[in-house]
Amino acid sequence: MSSVDVELVKCACPDCVCVVSVAKAVSKDGKAFCCDECAEGHKDHAGCHHAGCECHG
Ligand SMILES: [Zn+2]
Ligand SMILES: [Zn+2]
Ligand SMILES: [Zn+2]
């Protein structure tokens, strides 16, 4: 039996495919994001730096 207490959530950015642990997520407006870029809504059109993720606002 393994106890997994790391809860995973998908980034709240609609285009982002990343999944982050709640503990490491960037929370903003009650939503969990994988990174600052996503949390800021990609206002600078900077992409999420994760492999395979194409979100950039
Ligand atoms: Zn991402
Ligand atoms: Zn994201
Ligand atoms: Zn994003």
What is 1-50's CATH number?
A: 2.30.170
21 three-class SS: strand
Whole-angstrom distance, CA of residue 34 vs CA of residue 10: 8
Q: Which residue has the higher pLDDT, 43 or 5?
A: 43
Cα–ligand 3 centroid distance for 23 (angstroms)? 18
Torsion of CA 56, 31, 14, 45, to 10 degrees: -10
Residues lining ligand 2 (ion), CB within 5 A? 11, 13, 16, 18, 34, 38, 48
Cα–ligand 3 centroid distance for 44 (angstroms)? 11
Model confidence over 2-16: pLDDT tens digits? 666 779 999 999 989
Q: Look at residue 57 and tell me whether its pLDDT is greater than 70.
A: no
Whole-angstrom distance, CA of residue 40 vs CA of residue 44: 9
Q: Taking all residues of the chain, what is their mean pLDDT, rounded to a whole number? A: 88
